[in-house]
Structure 1
Amino acid sequence: MDPSAPESEFSRYHTPGIKRFENPAIFMDCSQLADLQRIHSLVSKFSSIMTEKRCIHPDVVDALRNSGVFRMSMPRAWGGDELNPLEQMRVIEALSEIDGSVGWCAMTGSAGGHYVSLLEDHVARSIYPGADAVVAGSLRPLGRARKVVGGWRVSGRWAMASGISHADLVVGGALIGDGSSAPTSGASELNWHCFFLPREDIEVIETRDAVGLEASGSHDYRVTDVFVPDINGFFPLGGPARPEPLYRLPWLHISTAAAAVLGIARHALGEAMRMCSSKPLTYIPSASRADLRDTVECQTAIAEAEAVLSAARCYLYDAVGQVWNAIQDGVLPSTRQKAGVRLAMAHAALAARRAVAAMHDQVGSSTALHSWPLTQALRDVHAASRHVVLHRMNLAPAGRVLLGLDPGAPMF
Structure 2
Amino acid sequence: MIRLGAEAQNILDAVRDAVPALRRNGVETEQRRWIVDENIELLEKAGVFRMAVPERFGGLDLPVAEQAEILASISRGCASTGWVSMVWVSSAWIASLYPDRAQKEVFADGSVRVSGGFTPSGTLTPVEDGYRLNGSWRFNTGVPGAQWNVYAAVVEHADGRHEELFALVPAEDITVADDWDVFGAAGTGSATSTAKDVFVPTHRVVDTSVYDASTGDRWNAEVKGRNYNLLSYILATCAPVYLGVARSALGLFTERAAGKPITYTNWTDQREHPHTQITVGRVASQIAACEALSENWLRVIQERADRGQKMTVEEKAAVRGQVGYVVEATKAAVQMLYDISSASTIVRSNHFQRAFRDIAALSLHGLLAPTGSLEAHGRVLLGLEPGTDYI
The TM-score with structure 1 as length reference comes to 0.86
Asked if 1 retains the 8 angstrom alpha-carbon contact of 2:137 and 2:193, the reply is: yes
Find 1:265's aligned residue among 233, 246, 252: 246
Aligned length: 381
Counterparts in 2 of 1:345 and 1:28: CA distance versus 1, 3 Å: farther
Cα distance, 1:168–1:156 mapped onto 2, change above 3 Å: same
Shift of 1:59: 2.1
What is the letter of the counterpart of residue 265 of structure 1?
A
Question: 1:211 is matched by which residue type in structure 2?
Answer: F
2:195 counterpart residue number: 223
Q: CA RMSD in A?
A: 2.4
Instruction: Summarize deviations over 1:304-360 as a string: whole Å, max 9, x none.
Output: 111111111111221221232233234332221121111121111001110011111
**2-side partners of 1:142 and 1:269: how far apart?**
39
Cα distance in structure 2, aligned partners of 1:267 and 1:369:
17
- Aligned residue for 1:80, secondary structure, equals coil
Q: Paired residue for 1:134?
A: 113
**Partner SS state of residue 247, structure 1:** coil
Counterparts of 1:135 and 1:261, CA distance in 2: 21
The question of whether the paired residues in 1 share the 8 Å contact of 2:137 and 2:194 is answered with: yes
* Counterparts of 1:217 and 1:76, CA distance in 2: 29
The one-letter code sitting in structure 2 at the alignment partner of 1:347 is Y
Equivalent position to 2:63, from 78, 84, 88 = 84
2:124·2:131 contact (CA, 8 Å) conserved in 1?
A: yes
Which residue among 253, 259, 279 is the counterpart of 1:278? Answer: 259
1:202 corresponding residue in structure 2: 174
- Per-residue deviation, 1:29: 4.9
Structure 2 CA distance, aligned partners of 1:164 and 1:63? Answer: 19
Does residue 160 (structure 1) correspond to residue 122 (structure 2)? The answer is: no
- In 1, the alpha carbon distance for the partners of 2:385 and 2:86 equals 30
Alignment-derived partner of residue 8 in structure 1: none
Partner of 2:231: 251
- Distance change >3 Å, CA 123–CA 283, structure 1 → 2: closer
> Judging changes above 3 Å, is the alpha-carbon distance between structure 1 residues 386 and 403 closer, same or farther for their aligned structure 2 residues?
same
Matching residue of 2:85: 106
Letter in 2 for 1:251: L
For residues 185-200 of structure 1, the aligned pairs below 5 Å read: 191-200=163-172
Question: Per the alignment, do residues 27 and 353 of structure 1 end up closer, same or farther by CA in structure 2, a change over 3 Å counting?
Answer: farther
Gaps of 5+ in 2: none
Secondary structure in 1 matching 2:68: helix
Amino acid at match of 1:272: F
Task: Measure how far apart 1:69 and its partner are.
Answer: 0.7
Alpha-carbon separation, structure 2, partners of 1:289 and 1:395: 41
Picking from 302, 316, 320, the partner of 1:342 is 320
Any idea what the Cα deviations from partners look like across 1:51-74, whole Å, max 9, x if unmatched?
A: 211111222212211211111112
Shift of 1:130: 2.5
C-alpha contact 1:96 1:103 (8 A) present in aligned 2:
yes
In 1, Cα distance between equivalents of 2:158 and 2:350: 53
Residues 91 and 115 in structure 2, CA contact (< 8 A), matched pair in contact too: no
Taking a change above 3 Å as real, the CA distance of residues 71 and 289 of structure 1, as seen in their structure-2 partners, is same
Q: Of the candidates 234, 242, 261, which is equivalent to residue 206 of structure 2?
A: 234
Distance 1:395 1:217, change over 3 A: same
Amino acid of the residue matched to residue 277 of structure 2? Q
Letter in 2 for 1:353: K
* C-alpha contact 2:16 2:74 (8 A) present in aligned 1: no
Paired-residue identity, % = 25
Q: What one-letter code is carried by the residue in structure 1 that aligns with 2:176?
A: V
Question: Which TM-score applies when normalising by structure 2?
Answer: 0.90
1:395 corresponding residue in structure 2: 374
AA partner of residue 147 (structure 2): D
Q: Distance in 1 between matches of 2:170 and 2:93?
A: 20
Over 3 Å counting, the alpha-carbon distance change for 1:87 and 1:27 in structure 2 is farther
Aligned counterparts of 1:51 and 1:282: Cα–Cα separation in 2:
30
CA distance in 2, matches of 1:25, 1:326: 19
2:291 pairs with one of 313, 333, 338: 313
> d(CA) in 2 for partners of 1:315 and 1:374?
25
**Cα pair distance change 1:56/1:305, threshold 3 Å:** same
Does the CA contact (< 8 Å) of 1:152 and 1:230 recur in 2?
yes
Partner SS, residue 159 of structure 1? strand
What is the CA deviation profile of residues 78-130 of structure 1, one whole-angstrom value per residue up to 9, with x for unaligned ones?
A: 22111111111101111101110111111011124422332122331134333
- Distance in 2 (alpha carbons) for counterparts of 1:88 and 1:376: 24
Write the distance in 2 (CA, Å) between the matches of 1:122 and 1:210: 38
After superposition, the C-alpha distances for 1:160-181 in whole angstroms (9 at most, x for unaligned) are 222111111112111112469x
